[in-house]
Amino acid sequence: MKIVFLDEASISLKNDMNYSALRDLGELVCFDHSSPDEILERAKDAEVIIVNKVVMPQKVIQGLPNLKHITVIATGYNNIDLDAASMAGVHVSNVRAYARHTVPQNTFAFILNLATRVPDYHQDVLKGQWQRANTFNLLNYSTFELAGKSIGIVGFGAIGQGVARIAEGFGMKILVHDPMLSTAADFPNTALEELFRESDIVSLHCPLTSENRQMINARSLSLMKPSAFLINTARGELVDENALFSALNNEQIAGAGLDVLSEEPPKENPLLGKVKNLILTPHCSWSAFEARQRLVDEVTENIRAFAGGNRRNAVTK
């Protein structure tokens, strides 16, 4: 079968991925990026399409008569018109929990950098402040220990649970909010407003829904402690970015670490301006080598299962 990967550059760094098992399944053709106008021509003979963020609307799906399987090399699949796929008899699959280790790791990279002010001290050293100091050290910033602090985890799937395990290792108190949390879970389900009030760190690990869009807004930020930090490695649209800009610059909260923004790549965004104690990274918390290879391997198994008549990681009926 012919397999076309429409946006391979979204997961590959200097050709570091191993596609050997995927190539064993058929003819693999990879494109770094694909615009909407290029999809039909590039995928016209494909039985299987691999996409990360390329949008597959109804007109594209209907325009590919050979297409049998779309496998999303990610967890989110809102870029696929699932109704159109089902009507066309196209199976859609995704990959789950591939970043269960790397996103918690990066979450704590944010937390530790905010708690210790390592980036700020590094810049001070580069500017020569340590070299000119009158004592052996610099004490320019107030830092704090994580032990005994409360972390509020919003969303308690594989990633949220991974964050909790690391937090336990630091001796932190854990608060959890998740509408799907089992009553038999290790942590009780905390009301969202209580979590905002009680947490020293609020960390978002939930999918975006119509109900939680901009859940971090002027009101929820007003509930948080002035010493609290916000971490978002989930989806940018969970945060009202104008409200966060104001909260940071007015010192309503102490800082934030964001790996996601509402528009990606960003063009105009208040958080790209002058903001107090904000760390931004470019939606890369998921992207450890092992996690990216896990994506490739899982997609390979999805295609192998489909070719054998099985439906693995299906998101269509």
In-domain check, residue 313: no
Residue 301 catalytic?
Answer: no
Q: Answer with the residue of higher pLDDT: 316 or 248.
A: 248
C-beta neighbour count of 90 within 10 angstroms? 22
Query: How many domains does the chain divide into?
Result: 2
Closest CA to 61 of 31, 91, 32: 91
In-domain check, residue 317: no
Say whether both 197 and 219 belong to one domain: yes
pLDDT digits (tens, 9 = 90+) for 42-59: 999 999 999 999 999 999
In-domain check, residue 191: yes
Say whether both 183 and 74 belong to one domain: no
Q: Are 233 and 260 in contact (CB under 8 A)?
A: yes
pLDDT digits (tens, 9 = 90+) for 254-303: 999 999 999 999 999 999 999 999 999 999 999 999 999 999 999 999 99
SS3 sequence of 55-92? CECHHHHHCCCCCCEEEECCCCCCCECHHHHHHCCCEE
Residue 100 catalytic?
Answer: no
pLDDT at residue 276, as a whole number: 95
294: domain CATH number? 3.40.50.720
In this structure, the chain runs to a length of 317
Say whether both 211 and 295 belong to one domain: no
Q: How are strands ordered across the β-sheet holding 91-93?
A: 27-30, 2-5, 48-51, 69-72, 91-93
User: What range does the domain containing 54 cover?
Assistant: 2-96+289-307
Structure confidence at residue 183 as a pLDDT band (50, 70, 90):
low
Vertex 172, ends 170 and 175: CA angle to 5°?
140
Catalytic residue among 168, 194, 264, 290: 264
Q: Are 271 and 67 in contact (CB under 8 A)?
A: no
Catalytic residue among 205, 235, 292, 294: 235
In-domain check, residue 314: no
Retrieve residue 222's tokens.
Answer: 């007003």
In-domain check, residue 316: no
Catalytic residue among 96, 101, 283, 304: 283
Residue 205 catalytic?
Answer: no
Retrieve residue 23's tokens.
Answer: 């190539």
Say whether both 273 and 302 belong to one domain: no
Say whether both 125 and 67 belong to one domain: no
pLDDT at residue 37, as a whole number: 96
Structure confidence at residue 185 as a pLDDT band (50, 70, 90):
confident
